[in-house]
Structure 1
């Protein structure tokens, strides 16, 4: 029996050790970015597009809907009249929030400034969740609870998974196929010649 257990342990260590060596340094970041791209990129871009003003330069003037989504309590206080809201700090918050919702996901997906962009997205998801709970007053079912055996809540369950997917490239890097890797390779070659 001891020989069988030893054989199984050795087989386990050989197989999973080989997988770990084969994927070390390149796979996890790339896989996490691919999962993020396939599940959340379009979601965030579509959400940002609902916040942009009209016309070619709509990205410079967020829509009334942007204010209602990002600052719901303030919008209610001013009767949904954005002209009553000053640019500093509230207009700037809405503008940067709208830009961040487009720029950060794209940076994560292409792997440019990946660690910083992933951290920015984690903060974005946390702030978005806070606004949903305190500003949009979502019901308890939507908020959910951890360890409740029901993985369908939109806030705690789903957004916790979103954050985990973003933690991987933040902590492990973007993986082999990324703009960061290309720039790093170029920079290290350049440094050798100077």
Structure 2
């Protein structure tokens, strides 16, 4: 009996990172890319909505006049916007997967705090753990997102990832046998 469970453990260890990446691609990739697209009027021109999404209270205080915002705000908006393009792409192809997933954890925490504090999300939207309802946008859904990201931080990109291919290639050349993928 233990042999069966040992095989299941081995298979799970090999498959979980790949399944986490596929789950991310199926459920969240278009969400993040779609969100990023709403934040751009041009390659380096953030939309008014980008500032309103990322700095909601400051935008309201400024009367939605972006000219009152400086270089710091532009950098935050552009950094966040391009993170929504780049980090998901890295996760899907499995390149620098651990770092990309760690970045997505930080991104999701900031996104959630912005929704709760900046946009003043109501109690139903925020939700609560260990309640009967499982459909809250923040506490419930984003907990599952975090589970996928934590799996990738802990286990790497897994099979069929560029991380794995890179490690294999570097190991064959004798450069990096200690790289954890």
**TM-score, normalized by the shorter chain, greater than 0.5:** yes
Q: Does 1:173 align with 2:173?
A: no
Other-structure match for 1:153: 136
Unaligned runs of 5+ in 2: 176-181
Residue deviations 1:65-91 (CA, integer Å, cap 9, x gap)? 10000111111111111111001x211
Structure 1 segments of 4+ aligned residues over 3 angstroms from their partners: none
2: CA distance between counterparts of 1:135 and 1:23?
40
Contact 1:110 1:178 in 2 (8 A): yes
Q: Does 1:103 align with 2:92?
A: no
1: CA distance between counterparts of 2:170 and 2:30?
32
TM-score normalized by the length of structure 2: 0.93
Contact 1:50 1:65 in 2 (8 A): yes
2: CA distance between counterparts of 1:40 and 1:113?
18
Contact 1:59 1:99 in 2 (8 A): no
Note the 1:1-194 alignment, pairs <5 A.
Answer: 11=1, 13-24=2-13, 26-53=14-41, 58-87=42-71, 89-191=72-174
Higher helix share: 1
* Number of residue-to-residue matches in the alignment: 175
